[in-house]
Structure 1
């Protein structure tokens, strides 16, 4: 987005906040997950890092939001899924 499309660093903040706000609104009906794409070489640059920090501040201002790893999301999914998916042959995420 910044290196190929030449968007200013503040565009990362605006897009992330807009995406979060929409997903947060949608989450009233069912759970939502949002991934933040971060390349340390790109977002770690001093003139960009503050925008990433501002995104995290915006999201953390909502007390009913979790920060989870992919593994934690998978564990939650497996615990919350219907019993009918409990057999490995019906589970698309089963590890063989």
Structure 2
């Protein structure tokens, strides 16, 4: 049985870097990570989705969709959520 590195397995199963399939996968993964971070921070602050939505000015359903990576969200909303949670967001741009 042949062994594969993680990079080789990703290339085979998802697509090579730069392909549409790989870009979509990585984008979805990042959305999922953001949702997980929001959910973790919300729970640490002992807030319900409804309470967080009230702080941000959005409905509970939007918080739920964001935490579960099932809907579109704007960067502005993400920033409002992190601000309401008292959380810092660090961005790193690589070119």
TM-score, length-normalised on structure 2?
A: 0.31
Relative contact order (C-alpha < 8 Å, sep 6+): which is higher? 1
TM-score by length of 1: 0.31
